[in-house]
């Protein structure tokens, strides 16, 4: 979907087991950088978006319950949360509705 955040178009995916997945999401699942743990999604930021990984180390990027494990930062997300790949963060559905503008759904 086309989405605007702070005046810029960003790449996002609303986490779903049944919904449409952009190419980068399918690739991340195939590479093991996104994996399901029950109904939660585990993300490996260091491989999804290397620049976000560096921001995590510096404490500049926030998320919904992330932690650092070894070299690759892992973060857990819930169904309905939104991955903002451009900015390297996970956004709750509520925050996404308030702060992002959807231009068109795919």
Q: Considering the entire predicted model, what is its pTM?
A: 0.77
Query: Average pLDDT, stretch 45-56?
Result: 60
Q: Where are the domains of the chain?
A: 2-104
Does the pLDDT of residue 56 top 80, yes or no?
no
Give the whole-angstrom CA distance, residue 43 versus residue 33: 6
Host H or E run for residue 41: strand 40-44
| 75 contacts 43 by C-beta, under 8 angstroms | yes
Q: Give the separation between CA 78 and CA 39, rounded to whole angstroms.
A: 7
Query: Region 25-46: what's the mean pLDDT?
Result: 93
Report how far residue 7's alpha carbon sits from residue 18's, in angstroms, rounded to the nearest whole number: 30
Average pLDDT on 57-70 reads 45
Q: Residue 51's pLDDT is what?
A: 60
Question: What is d(CA 38, CA 106) in angstroms, rounded to the nearest whole number?
Answer: 26
pLDDT in the model for residue 106: 60
Q: Look at residue 22 in the predicted model and tell me its pLDDT.
A: 93
Mean pLDDT of 46-62: 53
Residue 24, both tokens: 């980068």
């Amino acid at each position: 979907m086309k989405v605007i955040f702070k005046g810029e178009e960003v790449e996002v995916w609303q986490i779903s087991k049944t919904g449409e997945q952009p190419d980068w999401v399918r690739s991340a699942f195939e590479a093991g950088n996104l994996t399901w743990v029950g109904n939660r999604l585990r993300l490996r930021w260091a491989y999804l978006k290397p620049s976000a990984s560096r921001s995590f180390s510096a404490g500049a990027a926030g998320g919904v319950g992330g932690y650092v494990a070894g070299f690759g930062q892992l973060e857990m997300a819930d169904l309905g949360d939104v991955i903002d790949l451009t900015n390297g963060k996970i956004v709750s559905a509520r925050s996404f509705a308030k702060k992002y503008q959807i231009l068109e759904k795919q």
